[in-house]
Amino acid sequence: MAAKTPETVEKSLGTLSEAIGKATDDLCAARDTIERARADIASQNTSISREVVAEAERVIDSLKRTDEGLRDVVKELADRG
């Protein structure tokens, strides 16, 4: 595989940074919604479907993989110098 040019690397990192910024906003909004739902479910002693629970588990796994990937990128960037 050919080495990436500095412009390609900078563009890739810029795109990653933008994606992280958007994800941060989306995750904060999702967290607010989830916390309101948790409080509502607890106060009214209601439940949610198995499908929602299964999807939540899938999202947790995906977020863990994303966190590990970002940790690797940040470590390699920190170790480059």
Banded model confidence at residue 80, pLDDT cuts 50, 70, 90: confident
Does residue 15 lie within any of the structural domains? Answer: no
Q: In three state form, how does the secondary structure of 45-81 look?
A: CCCCCHHHHHHHHHHHHHHHHHHHHHHHHHHHHHHCC
Does residue 8 lie within any of the structural domains? Answer: no
Number of folded domains that form the chain: 1
pLDDT in tens, 8-59: 989 999 999 999 999 999 999 999 999 999 999 999 988 889 999 999 999 9
Does residue 59 lie within any of the structural domains? Answer: yes
CA separation for the pair 23, 20 (Å, rounded): 5
Does residue 43 lie within any of the structural domains? Answer: no
Residue ranges making up the domain that contains 59: 48-81
